[in-house]
Amino acid sequence: MSGKRILLVIGGGIAAYKSLELIRELARRGIASRCIVTKGGQEFVTPLSVSALSGEKVFTELFDLDDEADMGHIQLSRSADLVVVCPATADLMAKAANGLANDLASTTLLATDKPVLMVPAMNVRMWEHAATQRNVETLRNDGVTVMDPDEGAMACGEFGPGRLPEPLEIAGRIEALLSDGPVLYGLDPKPLAGRHALVTAGPTREPLDPVRFLSNHSSGKQGYAIAGALAKAGARVTLVSGPVALQVPDGVDHVPVETAREMLDACQDALPSDVFISVAAVADWRPSRAAAKKMKLKEGGGDPHPTLELSENPDILATLSRKKKNRPDLVIGFAAETHDVDALAIAKLKRKRCDWIVSNDVSGDVMGGEMNEVALVTREGIEVRWPRMTKQDVATRLVARITEEFGDEADKIAAQ
């Protein structure tokens, strides 16, 4: 990690003293910290102690003649590989979520073009307040990594989530972001330039009649996050999506569809592509016959015992995987399982003949939620199991791994 540098924003909270431990732990790992201490932060730690530990000048004021001449706030926001806010107070997160910029910390967060990690710490009620949760969701949708606070007894005497995670854990997260991030954010900002990525996301809807359908709980969040991360990495992205309530990420071509058969057609039309990532929760069956008119209750003259006959939908992942012509170079599926997750994922990879499969356990709060816990399975078996993290983080890591794969492939061709 030597040579890496973070910009650490120390907010005003009782946990601010732990940021000193964090600076020391990062230094041990060869990561330098340049620090901003907010006004509130200075009530808990002094700029002098932060400077002594980081071995660097500490910044506190937006309108400081000397500091602006030395290192202006725009430069400060861009001179690091990663911006870390620790502790991230409710106030700092609210400002960042809404784009406010009225002090050095918030201005820096608005001006930065670097990835941002926020480590919240606050009273449990403040953390659980709808406004804070709304801000956290906005930040995560904006691509900010927000760690979950720890649960336990708090300085204020209450109990619950809101404690700052341990510095060791934060340092580990920083290290992971610094090692996965560079392909996406640092050294080569557009590693997938010139590549076409095809992604499916969301549920499909299979009509029963003009007003009713069969579907599932998929929110589309994981697929949209992957499409966004691919676009950030420079790929041309086609996102074929079932109906979801999400904003299409910047720079992504969106093809809206409803049914599995429409999704398959849209994917076929989008080929050729270098990589296909099948994240959609495609309905396995559709009603064999969709009624042309709204089905009626028996009082309205309808069938008193309607039965539903289902037909199997096409398997989009298997169809694209088995193509002789125009098969994408890298075909990645998702395996949503509720039991025997790994064994079933490996069997699914073989059955569908894809190159990789991301296995995830959907027995908990994954469908519709913010977090995911996945393992990446290749034809050789389980390559890596990632800890529970946001869907945005899963997207970042997966795209970093895809980039690596294409990089290796380019190296092999160059060596021939």
Instruction: Give catalytic residue positions.
Output: 156
Q: Specify the DSSP element, H or E, that contains 169.
A: helix 167-180
**In the set 45, 109, 154, 335, which binds ligand CTP (CB under 6 A)?**
335
CA distances, 190 to each of 186, 231, 235, 274 (Å): 9, 9, 8, 15
* Pair of tokens at residue 161: 């989530």
334 makes contact with ligand CTP (CB under 6 A):
yes
- 282 makes contact with ligand CTP (CB under 6 A): yes
Cis peptide before 87 (omega within 30 of 0): yes
Q: Does 317 sit near ligand CTP (CB under 6 A)?
A: yes
Among the listed ranges 141-149, 237-245, 290-298, 315-323, the one in contact with ligand CTP (CB under 6 A) is: 315-323
Q: Does 124 bind ligand CTP (CB under 6 A)?
A: no
The beta strand positions in 52-111, using DSSP E, are 58-59, 82-88
Q: Write out the binding residues for ligand CTP, residues 347-366 only, by CB under 6 A.
A: 348
377 binds ligand CTP (CB under 6 A): no
342 three-class SS:
helix
By CB under 6 A, the count of residues binding ligand CTP is 15
When binding is defined by CB under 6 A, the residue of 336, 341, 374, 389 that contacts ligand CTP is: 336
Q: Is 6 exposed, middle or buried (0-12, 13-18, 19+ CB in 10 A)?
A: buried
Return the number of the residue (67 or 315) whose C-beta is nearest ligand CTP: 315
Task: Quote the least distance from Cβ 224 to ligand CTP, whole Å.
Answer: 14
Contacts (CB under 6 A) with ligand CTP, residues 252-281 = 260, 278, 280
User: Could you say whether residue 313 binds ligand CTP (CB under 6 A)?
Assistant: yes
Lookup result for tokens 């599926």: 333
Q: Which is nearer to ligand CTP, 26 or 376 (CB)?
A: 376
Cβ-in-10-Å burial (0-12, 13-18, 19+) of 245 comes to exposed
SS3 label, residue 29: coil
**Interface with ligand CTP by CB under 6 A: which residues?**
200, 260, 278, 280, 282, 284, 313, 315-317, 333-336, 348
